[in-house]
Amino acid sequence: MNDILLSIRGLKTYFYTYRGIVHAVDGVEFTINNGEVVGLVGETGCGKSCTALSIMRLIQDPGKIIGGEVIFRGRNLLEISEDEMKKIRGKEISMIFQNPTTSLNPVFKIKNQIIETIFEHQDIKKDDAAKQAVKWLEATGISSPYERIENYPHEFSSGMQQRIMIGIALSCNPSLLIADEPTTALDVTTQAQILDLLINLKKEYGMSILYITHNLGVIAEICNKVAVMYAGKIFEFADVIKIFKNPLHPYTEGLLRALPKKSKVEKLQEIPGVVPPLIDPPLGCRFYSRCDKSKEICRNAEPKMLEIEPNHFVACHIVSKSR
Amino acid sequence: MEEFNLLEVNGLKKHFPLTGGIFRRVSGTVKAVDGVNIKIKSGETFGLVGESGCGKTTLGRCILRLIEPTEGKVLFEGKSLLKLNKKELQMFRQYMQIVFQDPYSSLDPRLTVRQTISIPLKLYNIVKGNPEGKILEVIRDVGLEKEHIDRYPHEFSGGQRQRIGIARALTVNPKFIVLDEPTSALDVSVQAKILNLLKHLQDENKFTYLFISHNLEVVRYMSDRIAVMYLGKIMEIAVGEELFERQFHPYTQALLSAVPVPDPESKKKRILLTGDVPTPINPPIGCNFNPRCSRVLPICRDTEPQLREIRKDHYVACHLY
């Protein structure tokens, strides 16, 4: 069960802008095993979505993947041709996005939009593709799928649209689903429905999920493992329970302490300062200026990701020294 | 602290007409706020939660008359706001301010912080003579520095802009501030800073807050009492802790159970609602929630439940109780 499906090593994606080189993804490393839900969590602009797009090789100008490896089932996706990549996108790895309203094409019936993906990757007759499309609508919990499949996107609520997106993404039985903040634009009750749907579909079809979000509650609810990202780097990667019960990196600790408390008297812990610029990022640890435990070494040398405990990776000088 | 109702809202309604066709005929109404009664005590934080489109923002704006309500009464310190003429209303606005959700669109990009803050100062003659001292004081109150005064909004981060928005509301020494999702555009660590700031300002100045949000955890942390809104109506009002311990309305129960808890070991059972929120153009007859309610009774489909006190300070609009 625990075979590695996707392994990312030293991934670097830079954006070459007029103002300088933006180090959006700067040496990201983590792995996803078969059947696992891995959460990628971090604040706005830390490079979460950029990491996802790099895996899919969907980075556009002026961005460029300049280094690292994305090993998917033994093949480095950064080295194969665009034609081969097209066979992987949508079939082996598919993706759903934050805003379902803009991800669906408003001028086509949703039927055509589901069939398009199926046609692209399978040698199949049109009628059979249509049948499959209906099946996927049903699987994602849309009632009366035979009638609804003839509708246009605007005739659905945003929760329904996200269900359709999930249906499209799963229509070729991918082994990895990348979900980029799929519930951020939705209300809590709708979010609960979508999370429930994802968990059930995962049980049924057994795909792995890379779940990107800034919501720690959602992470706790559906993920097996968590990668904490900050300013283009992964700071901590471990089991979900370890991250929440025994966070080792000072940034992870700070993030958890900043969550609103149940008790109203307790003051929320703040993380002082702001995220460093990604153009010319600081030399040493990127969290140095905001960290309350930092020492001299943190300013000059960049910490490496080390396995501090079995399957608990942390990139921090202070943590690795204390062990 | 003496307790009196700073603000009373009685039967407040806001219906937006839907017009269409060449003669702009009215083809229907959106019942955004449909008969809301709330009382906000002086010095408390009154939380208002609900999903998008339930009318929370419209309610907040109707209270300040930024949107003219269709029907109902708003009493501020016993005076009816809806009877005031334009000039009187402007004077009243000194006591009631608002902080908006989006710190990017709520500040004028062409004005420096100094200009933004000196407009209300001049309008209400807060300081005689040189306003410099007051501007500096307000800016420091929200955690910004002197060097920020002559900058434009685009030079600030989201959290800092929200601080400017708060500073603008503070300048006129208000009594009541509507906080309309002040942190939903911000990251968790920045959100923590803004929430701490708002609490601190309240302690210093004895503000009364109406805190509107869809984020239940944030509302729980901030509020003394909480009202749950659904499709233009208040479903339940209770003291914060009590609401989270024991909810009566089936909608509140489902809503609270849907919030993801940042604890991977919690074995919470979720109540999943089926379907979507009905449109406020044609809300269901009887109880608004009846098409999605798992405990629906025959009476729910034809009679609208009224908000009743079923325990001390705990109001529920539901036929089950």
pLDDT digits (tens, 9 = 90+) for A159-202: 899 999 999 999 999 999 999 999 988 888 889 999 999 999 99
B219 and B106 in a single domain? The answer is yes
Q: Give the pLDDT score at A312.
A: 94
Per-residue exposure over A263-276, b if at least 16 CB sit within 10 Å of its own CB, e if not? eeeeebbbbeeebb
B112 and B209 in a single domain? The answer is yes
Of B259, B260, B276, the CB nearest to A159: B276
Q: How far is B241 from chain A (nearest CA, A)?
A: 9
B94 belongs to a structural domain: yes
Q: Give the pLDDT score at B197.
A: 93
* Segment 8-47 of chain A within 8 Å of chain B by CB: 43-44
Distance CA B255, CA B259 (A): 7
| Residue A254 identity (one-letter amino acid) | G
Preferred mutation among B156, B162, B189, B265 to probe A, highest tally of A CBs within 10 A? B189
B107 belongs to a structural domain: yes
B12 belongs to a structural domain: no
Are B265 and A241 in contact (CB < 8 Å)?
Answer: yes
Q: Give the pLDDT score at A242.
A: 94
B185 and B115 in a single domain? The answer is yes
Residues of A in contact with B266 (CB under 8 A): 220
Distance CA B152, CA B141 (A): 19
Residues 6 or more apart whose CB falls under 8 angstroms from that of A221 comprise: A195, B260, B261, B264
Residues 6 or more apart whose CB falls under 8 angstroms from that of A261 comprise: A268, B221
DSSP 8-state symbol, B81: G
Say whether pLDDT at A1 is over 50.
no
ω before A62 within 30° of 0 (cis)? yes
DSSP 8-state symbol, A11: E
B245 touches chain A (CB under 8 A): no
The CATH number for B126's domain is 3.40.50.300
Are A188 and B218 in contact (CB < 8 Å)?
Answer: no
> Over the stretch B31-67, which tens digit does the pLDDT of each residue have?
899 999 999 999 999 999 998 888 999 999 999 999 9
Structural domain tally of chain B?
Answer: 2
> Over the stretch A145-163, which tens digit does the pLDDT of each residue have?
899 999 999 998 888 999 9
Nearest Cα to Cα of residue B181 among B94, B284, B99, B291 = B99
Residues 6 or more apart whose CB falls under 8 angstroms from that of B230 comprise: B50, B51, B54, B251, B277, B288, B289
B52 and B147 in a single domain? The answer is yes
B98 and B206 in a single domain? The answer is yes
Nearest Cα to Cα of residue A25 among A13, A37, A40 = A13
Mean pLDDT, all residues of chain A: 91
* Residue A112: other Cβ atoms inside 10 A: 14
Q: Which residue has the tokens 């890379």?
A: A210
Residues 6 or more apart whose CB falls under 8 angstroms from that of B12 comprise: B33, B35, B36, B37, B59, B62, B63, B69, B71, B72, B73, B74
Say whether pLDDT at A226 is over 80.
yes
Of B196, B217, B260, the CB nearest to A221: B260
* Residue B23: other Cβ atoms inside 10 A: 7
B62 and B208 in a single domain? The answer is yes
B228 belongs to a structural domain: no
Structure-block tokens of residue A277: 């610029």
B20 belongs to a structural domain: no
Are A189 and B273 in contact (CB < 8 Å)?
Answer: yes
Enter the pTM of the model.
Answer: 0.88
What 3-state DSSP class applies to B207?
coil
Are B193 and A255 in contact (CB < 8 Å)?
Answer: no
Name the more confident of B11 and A44: B11
B48 and B165 in a single domain? The answer is yes
What 3-state DSSP class applies to B94?
coil
Q: How far is A274 from chain B (nearest CA, A)?
A: 9
Q: How far is B81 from chain A (nearest CA, A)?
A: 32
Structure-block tokens of residue A216: 């720690």
Q: How far is B195 from chain A (nearest CA, A)?
A: 8
Regions of chain B with pLDDT less than 70: 1-2
Are A268 and B255 in contact (CB < 8 Å)?
Answer: no
B213 and B297 in a single domain? The answer is no
Are A220 and B262 in contact (CB < 8 Å)?
Answer: yes
B254 touches chain A (CB under 8 A): yes
Residue range of the domain that includes B189? 40-71+82-223
B13 belongs to a structural domain: no
B183 touches chain A (CB under 8 A): no
Distance CA A279, CA B77 (A): 53
Cα distances from B112 to residues B98, B103, B143, B166, in angstroms, run: 20, 14, 17, 15
Residues of B in contact with A44 (CB under 8 A): 187
B257 touches chain A (CB under 8 A): yes
CB burial of residue B255 (10 Å; 0-12, 13-18, 19+): buried
B279 belongs to a structural domain: yes
B123 belongs to a structural domain: yes
Are A220 and B270 in contact (CB < 8 Å)?
Answer: no
B203 and B252 in a single domain? The answer is no
Distance CA A151, CA A187 (A): 23
Residues of B in contact with A258 (CB under 8 A): 188-189, 191-192
Are A220 and B264 in contact (CB < 8 Å)?
Answer: yes
Give the nearest chain A residue to B218 (CA atoms): A260
Distance CA B170, CA B200 (A): 13
Give the nearest chain A residue to B267 (CA atoms): A221
* Segment 236-295 of chain A within 8 Å of chain B by CB: 240-241, 244-245, 254-256, 258-262, 264, 267-271, 274
Q: Give the pLDDT score at A237.
A: 96
B63 and B196 in a single domain? The answer is yes
Region for residue A87 given its phi and psi (left: phi exceeds 0; alpha: psi -120 to 50; beta: otherwise): alpha
Considering only A117-126, A191-200, A209-218, A239-248, which range has the smallest mean pLDDT? A117-126
| Residue B59 identity (one-letter amino acid) | L
Measured over the CA atoms of residue B33, residue B38, residue B44 and residue B48, the dihedral's sign is negative
B167 and B311 in a single domain? The answer is no
A187 touches chain B (CB under 8 A): yes
Cα distances from A28 to residues A49, A89, A319, B124, in angstroms, run: 12, 21, 19, 54
Q: Give the pLDDT score at A161.
A: 92
A14 φ/ψ angles, rounded to the nearest 5 degrees? -115, 150
B215 and B135 in a single domain? The answer is yes
Are A192 and B270 in contact (CB < 8 Å)?
Answer: yes
